[in-house]
Amino acid sequence: MDLSIIIINWNTYNLTYKCIDSIKISNYKYEIILVNNSSNDAIKIAKLKNIYNNLKIIQNKENIYFAKANNRAYSEAKGRYILLLGSDTRILNDAIDQLIKFLDTNSKYSIVSPQLINSDGSIQRSCRNFPTVINVFKSLFDINQKSRFFGEYKLSYWDHNDSMEVVQPQATCILIRKEIIDKYGLFDEKFPLYFNDVDFFRKMKKFNIKTYFLSTAKIIHFYGQSTRKLRWKRKLLLYTGYINYIKKWGLN
C-alpha cells in the first residue's frame, strides 16, 4: 500500500463527500480512513462505503477532536505514506500524485505540503515560522507586513508562489513518511484541536526532519467550516492550546 489518507468529519458531510470525491490518484495504491467524530450525519457517512470500496470508516461515540482522531486512524493505516487531509478541502488535478512523487525522489525531505487555494482562486498563506515573543508581537502591527522584519512569524512577505523548504505548514494537507511517525509519533493529545500541528513540526525540527512546500501541487481549502460550529469552545481550545504550547516549548 502506497498511501493512507486520513480525513476527520464532524458535521461536515457535504464537504467531506466532495473532498473524497475529488481524490483522483493515478499511479499509487491507496486507502481512505474516515473518522466520524460523533456527528449528526453518521448515517450519511456510513453510506459512503457503498460508493468508495477503498474507504474505511471509524465511528466515534463522541467528538474526540483532531489530534486524537488522527492518532486513532493512523494506528490502522497501512500505507508507506500518510496524508492528513482536511474534510474542508478539494483536490485539484494530480496534486496528491505530485506530493508522493516528490518524496519518492527527494530523500532529504520526509514531509511535503501543497499550495492551499481559497474558493475565489486566491492563494492562502499557509506556512509560518514558530511563534516567539518577538515575532508574534511584531505580527500584531500592520506596519509593512511584507517586510521580513514585521512579517517574520506569518511569512507575510512571501507570496507562496515558490516551492521551498519550510518549518511549519498547516496540517490541512500534509504528506508524511510513515516511518517518521512510527519513530517519533504523530500528535500530542494535549493539543486536541489547536497547536497540535505547531507542536508536531516543532518536534520534527528537534529531530532534524525536513519539510518542503510544493507550490505546483494545489488544493482548495474552505477554511474553518467545521471548527466555527464549536462557537465559544473554539476560543477556549485555542487559548488552551497556546498555553500548553508555551509550557512545553517556551516562546523563544
Whole-number Å distance between alpha carbons of 147 and 141: 12
SS3 82: strand
Q: Which three cell numbers stand for residue 179?
A: 516511518
Taking alpha carbons only, the member of 47, 2, 228, 18 closest to residue 59 is: 47
143 inside domain: no
Q: At what angle do helices 232-249 and 196-206 cross, to 10 degrees?
A: 20
Q: Tens digits of per-residue pLDDT, 95-107? A: 999 999 999 999 9
pLDDT at 20 over 50: yes
Domains identified in the chain, total number: 1
Q: Write out the residue range of the structural domain in which residue 49 sits.
A: 3-125+160-249
Q: Tens digits of per-residue pLDDT, 24-63? A: 999 999 999 999 998 788 889 999 999 999 999 999 999 9
Whole-number Å distance between alpha carbons of 187 and 104: 24
Main-chain dihedrals φ then ψ at residue 40, nearest 5 degrees: -80, 5
Whole-number Å distance between alpha carbons of 19 and 86: 8
184 inside domain: yes
CATH classification at residue 91: 3.90.550.10
Q: Tens digits of per-residue pLDDT, 117-127? A: 999 999 999 99
pLDDT at 184 over 90: yes
For the chain, give the number of residues. Answer: 252
The arithmetic mean of pLDDT across residues 219-247, rounded, is: 77
pLDDT (0 to 100) of residue 86: 95
28 inside domain: yes
Q: Which three cell numbers stand for residue 42?
A: 453518521
150 inside domain: no
Whole-number Å distance between alpha carbons of 26 and 45: 25
Dihedral of CA atoms 166, 71, 189, 129 in degrees, nearest 10, equals: 0
204 inside domain: yes
pTM above 0.75, yes or no: yes
220 inside domain: yes
- Other CB atoms within 10 A of residue 76 CB: 13
Whole-number Å distance between alpha carbons of 56 and 239: 33
136 inside domain: no
Mean pLDDT estimate for the chain: 89
pLDDT (0 to 100) of residue 2: 97
Q: Tens digits of per-residue pLDDT, 136-163? A: 555 445 444 554 444 457 787 788 999 9
206 inside domain: yes
